[in-house]
Chain A
Amino acid sequence: MEIKQTALAGTLESSDIQITLSQGSNGIQIELDSSVEALYGPQIKQVITTTLQAAGIDNTQVKAVDKGALDCVIKARTLAAAQRALGTVDEPNWEVL
């Protein structure tokens, strides 16, 4: 599915992650900012990528500012951003989670 508009979900508070999705044409490109990047960077990116693919997004620029979010939070924020970006907020795709 194509991204219709840039969208954001999440906050910058402790244990949360802020995900911004914007239009891209070169696969899923993730720019990650995290204090635990050295340890968990690959895993955070993996969770974001899997969630986006499950939501049917193959091309997007992702900006993620992580404040130590757990995987379930990363998934939830990514999905929220994806639905806002796709304009499908009214028809949640629960199976993605």
Chain B
Amino acid sequence: MQIREYNLRLPRYRKRWQAFMEHNGIHEFGQAELAPIEKTYVWEEDGELAATGSIAGKVLKYVAVCEKFKDGGALFNQVVSHLVNEEASRGRFHLLVFTKPKYVKSFGYVGFKPLAQTDQGAFLESGTPGVSDYLANLPHFERGKTAAIVMNANPFTKGHRALVEKASAENDQVYLFVVQADRSVFTFAERFDLVKQGVSDLTNVVVVPGGDYMVSSATFPAYFLKSDQEIGAYQAELDATIFRDSIAKPLHITARYLGEEPTSKTTAAYNAALSAVLAPQVAVKIIPRHTEAGEIVSATTVRQAILAGDQDQLARLLPPTTLTFVKENFADLQARIQKKGSK
């Protein structure tokens, strides 16, 4: 058995690898899935592919072992072992896997713990800091009604503010999770800061990072695509299951507030999945979109207004804290939006 590195950007390797994956029942090769891959390794026996696995950040991807090999279990362990060591040499010790339910057991044998499982997919993690370390770093509330909001806030608008105000008024305390994946025009640090400033007067709201567990790019690459694209409904379902079982339950969260989504297909599908999965353990409250002078407030509109340089519109859509930041970094933001497209 020989280990080789494959460069998937070269068509002949890509073709060979993809044929092997399809033979083993994996058929998703979208750009969102492939682009983050850093390294792909294959195991060859007499010039034939026997197994493969890839790493993409802290995520192990496209792990497959051909059924023909009798000691498939040992080969599987060898593949995961190699990937884990590669990750360790890059200083990554907290790893995530998104896979089919039938492989949960195999990953379990090599130290991965399932965080959520649906009929179509499963999400596992291994190493430190894991979900228990993440939860330990959050404030805990023993009494009263606790609600949660998850937002990307790219950037924080008056619409976000209205949603938080409503949750704050209706509950004793509110967790405000800010999506941590850095794939948006505004960086995580900027978004987190603007959310914090924007709700600083609401004393029962705690702003916390979403970690790898909320709309993680590991489970949910489609969220970060353009909004006209269809998302895998099962990914949204998985994300909702993680929230219900690994986050809401230990933190005693009984309600999650969502903004109604009339324009973005991705978010609309995500909201639908959340409503289906979270109830009855967690009540889902969908709040109608906030409007300013008849205009729907959305972060997408804000980004378009920045690109167009429409100062009046920005003043209408943004709270003073975000507005100040946008004004100070106007040229830089325009350049970033131009580069990224509207997302």
Q: Are B85 and A8 in contact (CB under 8 A)?
A: yes
Chain B residues with Cβ below 8 Å from A13 are 74, 77-78, 81
One digit per residue, 1 when the CB lies within 8 angstroms of any chain B CB and 0 when it does not, for chain A 1-27 equals: 000011110011110001010100000
Given known A20-B127, A65-B111, contact A8–B77 (CB-CB < 8 A): no
Q: Smallest CB–CB gap between A34 and chain B, Å?
A: 10
Q: Smallest CB–CB gap between A96 and chain B, Å?
A: 22
One digit per residue, 1 when the CB lies within 8 angstroms of any chain B CB and 0 when it does not, for chain A 59-97 equals: 001010101000000000000000000000000000000
The yes or no answer to B93 lying at the interface (CB within 8 A) is yes
Q: Are B127 and A12 in contact (CB under 8 A)?
A: no
Given known A8-B88, A13-B81, A22-B93, contact A33–B128 (CB-CB < 8 A): no
- Given contacts A13-B77, A35-B109, A63-B128, 15 further A-B pairs with CB under 8 A are A6-B91, A6-B128, A8-B84, A8-B93, A11-B81, A11-B85, A12-B77, A12-B78, A12-B80, A12-B84, A13-B74, A13-B78, A18-B111, A22-B93, A22-B128
Chain A residues with Cβ below 8 Å from B335 are none
Chain B residues with Cβ below 8 Å from A35 are 109
The yes or no answer to B110 lying at the interface (CB within 8 A) is yes
Q: Are B111 and A12 in contact (CB under 8 A)?
A: yes
A12 CA to B111 CA, complexed, in Å: 9
Residue of A nearest to B78 (CB): A13
Residue of A nearest to B71 (CB): A14
One digit per residue, 1 when the CB lies within 8 angstroms of any chain A CB and 0 when it does not, for chain B 230-241 equals: 000000000000
Q: Are B110 and A65 in contact (CB under 8 A)?
A: yes
Q: Smallest CB–CB gap between A66 and chain B, Å?
A: 9
A61 CA to B132 CA, complexed, in Å: 13
Pairs across A and B, CB under 8 Å, 25 listed: A5-B91, A6-B93, A8-B84, A8-B85, A8-B93, A11-B81, A11-B85, A12-B78, A12-B80, A12-B81, A12-B110, A18-B81, A18-B111, A20-B88, A20-B93, A20-B128, A22-B93, A22-B129, A33-B111, A61-B128, A63-B111, A63-B127, A63-B128, A65-B111, A67-B77
